[in-house]
Amino acid sequence: MPAPPSSILIIGSGVFGLSTAYSLSQNPLYANTTLTLVDRSPFPASDSSSIDSSRIIRADYSDPAYAALGASAQRVWRDTSPGALGEGRYSESGLVLVADPGRDGYVRDSLENVRGLLEGGAVRELKTRREIDAVVGTGGGSGQWGYVNWRSGWADAEAGMRWLRARVEKTGRVQFICAEVVSLVREGKRVVGARQRDGIIRRAGLVILAAGAWTGRLVDLRGRATATGQVLTYLDLTADEQGKLGKMPVLLNMSTGLFIIPPRDRVLKVARHAYGYSNPTKIQHPDGSGNVIEVSLPRTSIDDPSQWVPREGEEDCRAALREMIPSLGDRPFTKSRICWYSDTPRGDFLITYHPELDGLFLATGGSGHGYKFLPVIGDQIMNCIGGECPAEFKQKWAWPMETMENVVTEDGSRGGRPGLVLQEEARKGSRL
Ligand SMILES: Cc1cc2nc3c(=O)[nH]c(=O)nc-3n(C[C@H](O)[C@H](O)[C@H](O)COP(=O)(O)OP(=O)(O)OC[C@H]3O[C@@H](n4cnc5c(N)ncnc54)[C@H](O)[C@@H]3O)c2cc1C
């Protein structure tokens, strides 16, 4: 295990960065290490992927390692005692995971995994569309086959992050800085800190880069991870509708990627877990050579306050709403958002030292499924920093030696079409 550095700078205060700060603050090994967390936005960063009305909390994975890690996170989410994470922030509504014929591999593997993890009774196969609709209880449904897992649910994502932030603040160990990092500072092959837009340089013995979908601006991730924009739409409900739909399970079609999470505060979210949009952007190579490279980077409501999802995405969400909750089929969307994944080829996280730059550790690659791990991922990241990555994730989270021409996530869970470019789709118009 490498000796603990005297200072650690974490870039990015999402689930990955903030949970790492907490874990480090709790570990006596790092008792003499100065911890600094820098984020470009004041907390909570409204355009980060960890901040939203809701996120699905599930152990329902086709991969047994993530299923087991999801189950360990769920044990923490389920604690609803005063002051615990789950108190008022987690709802075990059940999850109906469905698929269309010929595209059901992910759901079949997931069913097998959760059956192995859970006591009988919590999980029930749904063999027909009729059975799916009956369990969903909204007058609609989706898919032709699937299952319900009554031991999965959803969390108020922003509230979970606020809880975590308060815990970190309480330790008194972490200095919070609001500033945009424009580049890493290198001395030869060593990263020794980060330069902020205001010119301030923050030096540290170890830099942890956890900037989510923005990470590719600060280090070359081409062929290994990329930013993809995902479509979210929201609509308002009456109090009566909230009362009724508040009891529905999460409904996720793994063939189309379309899903609905039960409403909160009279707002319902319809979204798509898809290949997503790329946003090709020309930047100076992060190595400081002056070369210009093209990478996909987030374009959010902070860059463009009037941003609305492209027509193609809204149409998909509209179709999902009509199918899943027909009574609301024509209700206008009042808000939309493009939320950015840090996507890797197989949907694996990237939690590893950089192979060539000493003093740099990466904690990113959330690939659209990292939120649920809020209570456990910090310890995992800290263990990897200490050279003790769990055996089942050693390969998955390592720096990939092979690169892909264009990163497309093929973990079996994505809907939509690969290859969509945000600007091209935006040009076709938005707002139906
Ligand atoms: C639409 C959507 C739906 C999702 N649904 C689910 C779900 O249902 N269940 C689930 O488990 N997961 C889900 N996820 C995935 C999950 O939200 C992410 O995997 C997780 O939040 C990633 O956290 P992060 O810390 O890597 O990134 P982020 O939360 O994006 O944090 C990165 C931070 O870095 C900061 N930053 C960026 N650049 C700089 C810079 N140059 N200088 C300083 N700071 C910088 C940003 O401001 C931001 O706060 C979803 C994601 C999206 C987008």
Tokens of 369: 């499924």
Atom of ligand 1 nearest to the CA of 179: 43
pLDDT the model gives residue 150: 97
Atom of ligand 1 nearest to the CA of 271: 1
pLDDT the model gives residue 208: 99
Percent of all residues in the chain with a pLDDT value above 90, rounded to a whole number: 96
95 lines ligand 1 (CB under 6 A): no
Any idea where the domains of the chain sit in the sequence?
7-394
Instruction: Give the confidence band of 430 by pLDDT, cuts at 50, 70, 90.
Output: confident
The Å distance, Cα 74 to ligand 1 centre, comes to 19
Q: Is the pLDDT of residue 33 over 90?
A: yes
Per-residue pLDDT tens digits for 145-174: 999 999 999 999 999 999 999 999 999 999
The average confidence (pLDDT) of the chain is: 97
Q: Is the pLDDT of residue 120 over 80?
A: no
Percent of all residues in the chain with a pLDDT value above 70, rounded to a whole number: 99
38 lines ligand 1 (CB under 6 A): yes
pLDDT the model gives residue 121: 85
180 lines ligand 1 (CB under 6 A): yes
17 lines ligand 1 (CB under 6 A): yes
The Å distance, Cα 284 to ligand 1 centre, comes to 23
pLDDT the model gives residue 432: 67
The Å distance, Cα 273 to ligand 1 centre, comes to 14
44 lines ligand 1 (CB under 6 A): no
pLDDT the model gives residue 119: 78
380 lines ligand 1 (CB under 6 A): no
210 lines ligand 1 (CB under 6 A): yes
Residue from 46, 55, 303, 350 whose mutation best tests the ligand 1 pocket (most atoms within 8 A of CB): 55
Query: Per-residue pLDDT averaged across 1-7, rounded?
Result: 87
CATH superfamily of 7-394: FAD/NAD(P)-binding domain (3.50.50.60)
Instruction: Give the confidence band of 3 by pLDDT, cuts at 50, 70, 90.
Output: confident
Per-residue pLDDT tens digits for 376-398: 999 999 999 999 999 999 999 99
Tokens of 249: 């399970």
300 lines ligand 1 (CB under 6 A): no
The Å distance, Cα 239 to ligand 1 centre, comes to 31
The Å distance, Cα 76 to ligand 1 centre, comes to 20
Per-residue pLDDT tens digits for 41-87: 999 999 999 999 999 999 999 999 999 999 999 999 999 999 999 99
Atom of ligand 1 nearest to the CA of 41: 47
Per-residue pLDDT tens digits for 297-342: 999 999 999 999 999 999 999 999 999 999 999 999 999 999 999 9
The Å distance, Cα 405 to ligand 1 centre, comes to 24
The Å distance, Cα 48 to ligand 1 centre, comes to 5
